[in-house]
Amino acid sequence: SQQGEEDPQALSIQEGENATMNCSYKTSINNLQWYRQNSGRGLVHLILIRSNEREKHSGRLRVTLDTSKKSSSLLITASRAADTASYFCATALGSYIPTFGRGTSLIVHP
């Protein structure tokens, strides 16, 4: 079963616009991670946010976490065509095994 569920399933925007993806999960977590995947191949780790953190930044990425609502969001600012990919959230509770959602497919049109 998949713990995290990303929303929307697909997102299409123009270059320069911001992209926001959301992730909801069901149980308590220790941390939540966001990954990117190009063309159905290997995943690239983007950012990890711990359960006691509310917001984290990395370059053009901003991740928020609301444990009371069991949700997280990933914001990509000033998107580029190269940001086109699938984005997954993965949650972990105490264990070493993150559980992935189905992902959001992002298309950035040049």
Partner 1 sequence: GAGVSQTPSNKVTEKGKYVELRCDPISGHTALYWYRQSLGQGPEFLIYFQGTGAADDSGLPNDRFFAVRPEGSVSTLKIQRTERGDSAVYLCASSLDRTSGGRTQYFGPGTRLLVL
Structure tokens at 32: 């939540």
Q: Which residue has the tokens 């053009």?
A: 60
Q: How far apart are CA 93 and CA 69, in angstroms?
A: 16
Helices (H), the chain: none
Instruction: Note whether 24 binds partner 1 by CB under 8 A.
Output: no
The stretch among 12-20, 55-63, 66-74, 93-101 that binds partner 1 (CB under 8 A) is 93-101
In whole angstroms, how close is the CB of 16 to partner 1 at the nearest point?
28
Report the interface residues with partner 1, using CB under 8 A: 2, 4, 30-31, 33, 35, 40-45, 48, 50, 88, 90, 92, 94-103
